[in-house]
Amino acid sequence: MIGRGERPVSAPTSATNASAPTPAPNDGINNTALRWIGAVGALVAAYAPLSLYQDGYKDIPVANIGIQFLLNAIGGIAIAIALIAPLFVSSLPTWTTRAAAVGGVVWSTLSLLAYVLSHSDRGWMGYNDGPAFFQPSPEGALTLFSEAAVLVACVTILTLPVVIGRRAETDG
């Protein structure tokens, strides 16, 4: 007989039991590598606007560009922390990985859009960084490629479980 607050002890299950829990498709080495790629990319991408902010962009009066550069750097650091935190803190809810990946997609997309527009004739909110696409150097190329890496890693984190789930359905 089971008393209050006691749980029934279940019989051991065999390894072939179909009802045994299986790891989520986004767990394991693929997700861990993608999180690290996204986090490192976000930190590298955060370095570029922070460096430019300190080198004088904080004094640009057009559209608060300096504040935007500072916020972009803070956003990159936050995305990096959010992507790798679940690897070190097991008590975080499972949705944090997806939320971090969505944040990474939004942040990197907006950052890339701002970068591209700032090098166009129109400019970003009235600010134009000039026609040379990888200027200022090396920060221009550094931020462009690292933000693209964040975007690819985060989109893959979000879509990998769907792709693996579909593959499992067709194989089974």
Q: For 73-82, what is each residue's pLDDT tens digit?
A: 999 999 999 9
* CA atoms of 75 and 107, how far apart (whole Å): 7
pLDDT the model gives residue 16: 47
| Any domain includes 64 | yes
Residue 146 has pLDDT above 90, yes or no: yes
Determine the structural domain holding residue 163 and report its residue range: 29-171
Crossing angle of helices 95-118 and 139-171, in 10° steps, is: 140
* CA atoms of 126 and 111, how far apart (whole Å): 16
Answer whether 49's CB lies under 8 Å from 69's CB: yes
The DSSP line for 34-51 is HHHHHHHHHHHHHHHHHH
| Any domain includes 21 | no
Considering only CA atoms, which of 46, 35, 56 is closest in space to residue 153?
35
Chain-wide mean pLDDT for the chain? 80
| Any domain includes 2 | no
| Any domain includes 11 | no
What is this structure's pTM? 0.74
| Any domain includes 48 | yes
% residues pLDDT > 70 (the chain): 74
pLDDT the model gives residue 17: 47
pLDDT tens-place string over residues 95-119: 898 999 999 999 999 999 988 888 8
Tell me the two tokens of residue 127.
Answer: 């600010």
SS3 content of the chain, % helix, strand, coil (to 5): 65, 0, 35
pLDDT the model gives residue 123: 75
| Any domain includes 103 | yes
| Domains of the chain: total | 1
